[in-house]
Structure 1
Amino acid sequence: MKLTVVGGGSTYTPELVDGFARLRDTLPIEELVLVDPAADRLELVGGLARRIFARQGHAGRIVTTSDLDAGVDGADAVLLQLRVGGQAAREKDETWPLECGCIGQETTGAGGLAKALRTVPVVLDIAERVRRANPRAWIIDFTNPVGIVTRALLRAGHRAVGLCNVAIGFQRKFAALLDTAPAEVHLAHVGLNHLTWETGVRLGGPDGADVLPALLAEHGEAIAADVRLPRPLLESLGVVPSYYLRYYYAHDEVVRELRTKPSRAAEVAAMERELLAMYGDPTLDEKPALLAKRGGAFYSEAAVDLAAALLGGGGSPYQVVNTLNRGTLPFLPDDAVIEVQAAVGPEGPVPLPVPPLDPLFSGLIANVTAYEDLALDAALRGGRDRVFRALLAHPLIGQYAYADALTDRLVAHNREHLAWA
């Protein structure tokens, strides 16, 4: 089995490699290829990756290359984790929206749209080259904004599944609170990428007993603190929103916070410099503890599980993925990309049925889906008017004066990445 990671020079990669080493019985990789144009980072990350495999007794071969076509040649699966423009572009995504009083965030709102515009054309080019190298290869997209990027891939006919670590993070946290194995915790997880709610927590599988009410009653304070929303709100909703719902439910509060502290991008950039220095230590042969603060908790477990299921070697029978709606949420188009529990196998994911949703949730899902459709149109065809329309449709923006000002800022800060600008 050959697996290729595009963006292999990311500081995330040792987390992924550690999972590949630990879970080699689930996903028996013979060759792991790390592809990245940044040769200096790739050398540091690749060296640590080989030492991690050696320490854990993994017999697989690790190859590093800046040649994308060579890297994906013959790959059974290709995992995408790239960041077009790097942390410098992320820093801008998180700051210029604040000038207009809007959320500055890399995956939603105006910053998320900027990232989508930079990313979608690059990912589609990579995907075409993967298809030429191996038409049966699966593409696993971990590149944000996952929903929009995955929709672009699927619309272009690629064998693609989107992946996020929010659900597996909840699964692990709930399992700890329930003092049970994570595999016993089945989430009723529904929504769009970075716009999801846990509407049930079932033990043993999708038909098991729902323990979410008991979880909220017994551990409401801890869960509320984790998602940074008030416990009474969670009790009123009767569900657990993801952390990203805070941008919607407490928008002005978050804007005030973001204006008074360094950006997350600045924090991550500093952390990456420290991590890369660690990776250069030839005695280091395990992922450092600092990596846990970088984000992406349990990312490797989710990636291994998904790749194993898609490639027919095992994996959990049910997994939370980003995939085509196909009637699962009847108020959305079939070609919308949703994030739900699905049965995953070699032919791809099949979403599990979702009970009718409260209009409080379905209304917001429909609104953001409409924005994502307009965002993808802007990413594929360009043009200031398409960018403006997408921003005007986003529920975190919604006013024409904001949308107009944000459009100008987005284009100004991303001109080098926009072929039409």
Structure 2
Amino acid sequence: MRILSIFFTNDRKCIIASMLSKTGNYRLYYSLYPFEKKDMICERSFMIVPIGIKKGKLIYKEKNQVNHFYVPNCKASGFLNNVRSIDYNTLLHDTYKNLSLTVTNDKGGNIVFVNQEKLNIPVHFTVKNCYFLDNKTLILLCSSTLNSSMLVYYSIPERELNYLKMTSQLTFPLSFFEHQIIGEKKIPCLTHINRSDDTVLICLHGGPKYHYNHEYLDLIFDFYHNFNNICLVNFPGSTGYSQKYENELIGNGGVVDVEAVKSVVSYYDSQGFKIKIYGESYGAYIAICLSQFINFSIARIVSVSGFTNLFYMYLCSDSRNLIEKYFSDYRKFSPEKNLAMKELLPIRFLHGSEDKTCPIAQINYFVKKYEGMHLTVLDGFSHYEVDIKKEKIRNKRIVRLLK
């Protein structure tokens, strides 16, 4: 059972938890202080969103309908607002009496402060929600790269983490990813490396306003069980580091991003690794551009929901603003144009037939134009899928294409 999010009532006596079951159904639970057990409110095959609570009456939304549930022995009215934009780096904020809590980004993970004192939270934790329970205790919803959700207490005086009984969690079952600066361009990455294997999987995220951190992702979990060496690359344009690093990509798409990832590829190539590259959406664009570097030991390139023609994207996709923002020349930086007359490495494309963000027509044309290209179509799939069952199908296809 994965905890997606928690909602803490303003009296700090009740938790409403949104969870995802192993069967792919969504569930709402409530737990009353001291949070030793949980009770289910409802279960649906689609997302359920709590939107408020008044005198113990929980209001939640399912599809386009609003329903309610009276939480026994709960008199709260309102949820605590945990997300406040104080500055660029502040993710979460809470106050209690004379105490102030802030959570900030740091090296793919988070740092938690109470009154500017750094707490003893592992750097490989991503803190999704964090609240004061009282003046000595915090309650946190965390994840790590390979642990989907952990609901924990943190004792401020003792500086220790303990699991809540209601989640029935034990110890951290899997190893962690390490934050590293890699390559000549000094690119921040999260890595899991086992030197006994000579193949490394390099992963490039979409967005590009996104970054790999220690938050759990089903696909990365699947990669972990199929590849011993994984490198998650946060190329220029990624969030989570600084405004300057995020803005570095503006007007420089096809240059700083490709050169950054090329330097990571070069590093692993010099270490004797065979390289496999997975890219999604914007990351897939970078992966496609890397197909020209035939001198590296690149064994596989997989593009998922990528794009190959910037002018076509400008005219026909819902990503027109993104293309205008990040690229200075539609022709010069279009793989369809700038890879012409070059020897290319084979690329395996995976694309949804209903993708409106990166329409599939450009991929069809690219695959026919260049030798060694292969397209697998996901019928009825869009650019991103929120349906857990579709996501599992898609992830299995990605792993299979990378093998």
Category of TM-score, reference length = shorter chain: under 0.3
The structure with higher relative contact order (CA 8 Å, sep 6+) is: 1
**TM-score normalised by structure 1 residue count:** 0.25
Q: Which has the larger radius of gyration?
A: 2
**TM-score normalised by structure 2 residue count:** 0.26
